[in-house]
Amino acid sequence: MSELELGSRSSWLSREDLDAARDRMPVLYVHAIPVRVDHAGAVTSVGLLLRAGDHGTIARELIAGRVFHGERIRDAVLRHIEKDLGPMALPLVPVSPTPFTVAEFFPTPGVTAYHDPRQHAVSLAYIVPVSGDCSPQADALDLAWVTPEETSDPALLADMAPGHGALLRHALVHLGFDV
């Protein structure tokens, strides 16, 4: 399927069909954790979005979204980064689409560290360096760049959407940080 065909689909399922599918099967997602790196490739900051939820809640989130039928994983990662950070983010998606982890989100809290009250979802999670100008897009209200050390702040973690704080900590441990 061409990029044009994928881009012309603003919604691959109606809201009702998506809700019905979520009730019956896991949905494939990608998560992208945008990072800034120094000249040696060391992570200096992590980008966190601020979004308004469906029920009037405000939370910090990672970049995330569904994978379209017929879409390559790397294309889904790039599409969601551009949707949330803008076309000038200049992400460097790895040559190999191997995620740093596979996160399984359950609607029931406590099954795993990842919780999504809407659905059972399986997400391939990536750490993606970005070098361009990033600004919140689409439904993102703000973009904050925090140091890896600041991500362990209990107040910041309390402001994160369910499961996103656990995934962020997992990413930082993967990168060698003690969080």
pTM: 0.86
Count CA within 13 A, CB hemisphere, residue 39: 0
Q: Are 36 and 128 in contact (CB under 8 A)?
A: no
Cα distances (angstroms) measured from residue 144 to each of 8, 136, 179: 30, 9, 19
Q: Report how many helices (DSSP H) and strands (DSSP E) the chain contains, helices first.
A: 5, 7
User: Which structural domains are found in the chain, ordered by start?
Assistant: 14-174 (3.90.79.10)
Report pLDDT for 6. 47
Q: Residue 49 half-sphere exposure, CB side, CA atoms within 13 Å?
A: 27
Does residue 164 surpass a pLDDT of 50?
Answer: yes
**Is the pLDDT reported for residue 9 higher than 70?**
no
- Which of 118, 130, 106 shows the shortest CA–CA distance to 35? 130
